[in-house]
């Protein structure tokens, strides 16, 4: 309950009431009281839809860190963090993140990375190998692309992890080496949106073009790394997620401030939320990331998601 107490103390100050509320606090209490002690706790908040997930991080030096489900040493030896992601108090996703530089994707002539992904996914949830190949090929050429992590959907937690047959997905997370090439990022996003059927009509294309133009200041920013979070499944998911990180720690504040400024100017992101996010990181408090989800409903939409928590 140590982490729950930290969040309660922060909430009681009244300084972060746009980031914390009683529902979020109660979820943190429930999740942390019924799971092994984590290295850190994050709130992943979708501010567009007013939903949230609770994320427990287990670093490699935590006694509960367990990369066994990665199956093969190629990934297990490079795993740095083991994440449990909860929705409504129920484990919904299990994620492993890596030391990325040894896991190159786009110039992998031996196909070791891509074959290893398939070997792991074959033990997790059902997916289409040809679709996975098409997704990974979107990153071929021009820039180096590295694998950040792998995850799968869950329906519970216990002695054995249990891949969900309700949601049925795996996910790859990869990033381009940051070079502030807007045209390169735009091309990748367009290819992915076509593959994921986010763009199917001329109107969809116009919607996507408008969104990409509005986030151009983000995509063109130097020292900014984009993680592409991409679902692999036999179900249809018309969405991709772009997670914004600074390339190195010194640029964290500049990257986050400029990204939030762009979201406010172009997507009416709440100024009160921005103010609290900009003052969140302090000592044990950490501002993790900002994500942009491109999703097809009645039209192509963008959702803003932020992760923040404590160590």
Tens-binned pLDDT, residue by residue, of the chain (311 aa): 699 999 999 999 999 999 999 999 999 999 999 999 999 999 999 999 999 999 999 999 998 999 999 989 999 999 999 999 999 998 999 999 998 776 777 666 678 889 999 999 999 999 999 999 999 999 887 778 889 999 999 864 344 444 444 678 999 999 887 777 899 999 999 999 999 999 999 999 999 999 999 999 999 998 898 999 999 999 999 999 999 988 888 888 999 999 999 999 999 999 999 999 999 999 899 999 999 999 999 999 999 999 999 99
Contact partners, residue 7, CB within 8 Å, separation at least 6: 20, 24, 25, 28, 41, 310
C-alpha 71, offset from chain centre: 22
CA–CA dist 188, 43 (Å, integer): 29
Contact partners, residue 283, CB within 8 Å, separation at least 6: none
Predicted confidence (pLDDT) per residue in 38-65, tens digit: 999 999 999 999 999 999 999 999 989 9
Q: HSE of 140 in the Cβ direction (CA atoms, 13 Å)?
A: 10
Predicted confidence (pLDDT) per residue in 233-284, tens digit: 999 999 999 999 888 888 889 999 999 999 999 999 999 999 999 999 998 9
Residue boundaries of the structural domains of the chain: 2-310
């Amino acid at each position: 309950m140590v982490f729950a107490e930290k969040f309660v103390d922060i909430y009681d100050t009244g300084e972060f009431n746009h980031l914390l509320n009683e529902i979020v606090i109660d979820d943190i209490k429930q999740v942390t009281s019924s799971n092994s002690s984590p290295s850190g706790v994050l709130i992943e908040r979708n501010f567009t839809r007013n939903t949230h997930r609770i994320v427990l991080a287990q670093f490699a030096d935590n006694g509960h860190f367990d990369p066994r489900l990665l199956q093969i040493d190629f990934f297990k030896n490079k795993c740095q963090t083991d994440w449990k992601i909860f929705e409504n108090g129920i484990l919904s996703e299990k994620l492993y993140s890596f030391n990325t530089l040894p896991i190159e994707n786009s110039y992998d002539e031996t196909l070791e990375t891509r074959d290893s992904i398939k070997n792991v996914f074959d033990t997790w949830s059902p997916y289409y190998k040809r679709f996975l190949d098409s997704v990974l090929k979107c990153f071929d050429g021009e820039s180096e692309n590295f694998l950040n992590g792998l995850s799968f959907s869950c329906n519970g937690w216990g002695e054995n992890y249990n891949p969900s047959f309700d949601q049925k997905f795996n996910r790859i997370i990869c990033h381009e080496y940051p070079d502030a090439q807007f045209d390169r990022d735009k091309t990748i996003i367009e290819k992915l949106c076509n593959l994921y059927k986010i763009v199917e009509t001329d109107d969809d294309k116009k919607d996507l073009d408008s969104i990409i133009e509005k986030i151009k200041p983000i995509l063109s920013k130097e020292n900014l790394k984009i993680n592409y979070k991409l679902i692999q499944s036999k179900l249809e998911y018309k969405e991709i997620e772009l997670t914004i990180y600074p390339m190195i720690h010194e640029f964290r504040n500049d990257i986050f401030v400029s990204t939030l400024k762009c979201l406010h100017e172009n997507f009416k992101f709440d100024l009160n939320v921005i103010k609290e996010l900009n003052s969140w990181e302090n000592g044990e408090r950490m501002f993790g990331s900002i994500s942009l989800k491109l999703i097809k409903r009645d039209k192509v939409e963008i959702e803003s998601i932020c992760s923040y928590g404590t160590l």
